[in-house]
Amino acid sequence: MNKPHPIPLFVILALLAVAAPFATVQAQQLSEARMVQMLKRFPEADANGDGKLSPKEFQAATQMAQAAAARAIPKFDPGWEEDEFPPHAVSLKSPEEIMALYKSGKPGRTYAEAADAMSFHKPADGILRIVGTGHSFTAPGYRTLPAITRAAGFEQPLSLHNGGGRTGSVSYKWEEENGIFEFDGKPLPKLLAAISNAEWEAMIWGPYTADRPKFYTSWIDFCEKYNPGMKYFVIDSWPTLNQAQMVFGLKGNPESESFFTDEVFDRINEVADKGFADLIKEVRETSEEVYVLATRAAMTEAAKRFNRGELPGVQGLYKVIGGKENSIWADQRGHLGPGFARLEGYVFYATLYGKSPELISTPIKFKKPSSFQSDELDGVFREIAWKAVAEHPFSGVTDKNGNGIGDDLE
């Protein structure tokens, strides 16, 4: 079942950081639209009831927005503040003990076959054996990546432990696999068993609300213990309606998709990218091999191209606003619309393997082709994915000569 995707903490914190300076400027320096939006969201800030916000009243509205953002930040078990995890944490056990625990199961818990703690023979050079956690924002990439790599000439080794919403978050899976905190005494060490008993080259995650560096570095420390030199990848999501509401002080959704100009998307991403970059930089203090799967840049580029009429067959941006079935985003939470799983899969492929999906000549056999999907649109998706990846500062991929092959591969 899909769970809500609240605004990530790095977006909230970045918003709070950029909101304060606006509070001290003169009213004429604030865009009229933003003043109106803030007034609609926090009418109580209009102390004198004149229907507009003075600089002082705007500051009050900003403080209200900050308080609302703070209330949205979830609480985590205080055990995360400790220097060490509880002594019964599965990650502290030997590989043999972890695998035996995974195979044995516990009363009241349903376990898959032990073979799910998968291992793969060493693949050809350059092919990554991947473990991963994630939720419904990473699921499209996980679903489509195997079909893409198959067309590229190889099978993608994957071992995943996913969930929906919070249950697929990095911290949730660490607690669940270790049998600590919320899952005290009820471990499900699928990935811990796989990582400690087999060889892997990479791990993928999807971020979630209030993520802290420790959520990621705990996984990295465990992976490095058994598979030194692994690479780590995390998606950076994409512009959501919740983010638009927070950045622009909206009380609800915009009335029309015309609100989402290139400048609006750029402003949303400016806030999100700053916070996300800070998170990645902190995690990189544990391993320099941490990279971003540039889904935000890719979906933003797709949205801008739609606004220019350059996405054949795509009818809208946000289905809940425009009402079009073939929209980029399918619902209020921000799940992708029909066909856009391909674009995320292309971003995965381009980042993991440093090659443009435009170079794949064999037809790709996706399991659920969309009725409106065309070769022309698919070609645009491939182009967008490579552009997003090659231009992202944390993707680990560059293409200075523009030939579709990462510079480090030549």
Segments of the chain with pLDDT less than 50 = 1-7, 15-30, 107-114
pTM to 2 decimals? 0.84
What whole-number distance in Å separates Cα of residue 229 and Cα of residue 396? 15
User: Which pLDDT value is given to residue 247?
Assistant: 86
pLDDT at res. 31:
65
| Angstrom distance (rounded) from CA 73 to CA 210 | 6
- Say which amino acid occupies 91: S
For residue 260, what pLDDT is reported?
97
Q: Give the model's pLDDT for residue 11.
A: 52
> Residue 54 burial (CB < 10 Å; 0-12/13-18/19+)?
middle
Percent of the chain topping pLDDT 90: 69
- Confidence (pLDDT) at 43: 84
Can you give the C-alpha Rg of the chain in angstroms?
22
Residue 55 has phi, psi (to 5 degrees) of -55, -40
Q: How far apart are CA 158 and CA 345, in angstroms?
A: 14
C-alpha to C-alpha distance for 144 and 368, rounded to whole angstroms: 10
Q: What is the pLDDT of residue 337?
A: 95
**CA–CA distances in Å: residue 19 to residues 55, 68, 120:** 13, 13, 49
Q: What is the pLDDT of residues 13-43, one digit of tens each?
A: 554 444 433 333 333 344 676 677 777 777 8
Query: What does the pLDDT read at residue 106?
Result: 55
The three-state DSSP-derived secondary structure of 274-291 is HHHHHHHHHHCCCCCCEE
